[in-house]
Amino acid sequence: MGRKQSFTETELLEVTKRLLLEHGYDGFHLKLLSQHLSGARSTIYQYFSNKEEIVAACMKRVISKVLINASSIDETDSMMALQQLLHIYLEESKLHQLLGDAYKIKTENVKALNDLEFVEQAHSTLKVQLTRLFEQAQKEKRLREDIPLPILIGTYFNLISTPNMMNIPTPQWSDLLFQTWIGGSGS
């Protein structure tokens, strides 16, 4: 009889992320997760006690990566910072789909609640950074001041949802979207 293979918490969270994006929160369950991991289903419980805890930890992991990368941006040049931030957001473009399901997690599990609180705080931190950069760019007259900030930010965020039908690598795709956004599409 062979030894059971096991998996790390990182592997478990990566598979969780992929399955959540494929099946959504409602279609994700521990049986599905265990079918995509090498090792016994009981191994999942060494890391997490239930679906809500796993999903909340997955969300925290994804937004933590975005937060770390966003916080390392040099904000001296607001437009360059906005371009770099778009690249970071596009690297995790499925983040919004994943975080959109956070409201579905109904739990009293302290660990899951703490992770969801972290996600909410990180989201707020990212929003503050983005608003600061947009305000700085407007103040420097690098963005139009006659367009309300919420519209500028909203159209910027819509770039993240733009399908990459040409399958351009993310860095080039990000640059192309940013240039289209900043220059408009008119002649």
| CATH architecture of residue range(s) 51-183 | Orthogonal Bundle (1.10)
What are the boundaries of each domain within the chain?
51-183
Of 52, 57, 54, the C-alpha closest to 36 is 54
| pLDDT at res. 142 | 95
**Residue-wise pLDDT tens for the chain (187 aa)?**
443 558 899 999 999 999 999 999 999 999 999 999 988 888 899 999 999 999 999 999 999 999 999 999 999 999 999 999 999 999 988 777 778 788 888 889 999 999 999 999 999 999 999 999 999 999 999 999 999 999 999 999 899 989 999 999 999 999 999 999 998 876 6
Dist CA 170 CA 163 (whole Å): 11
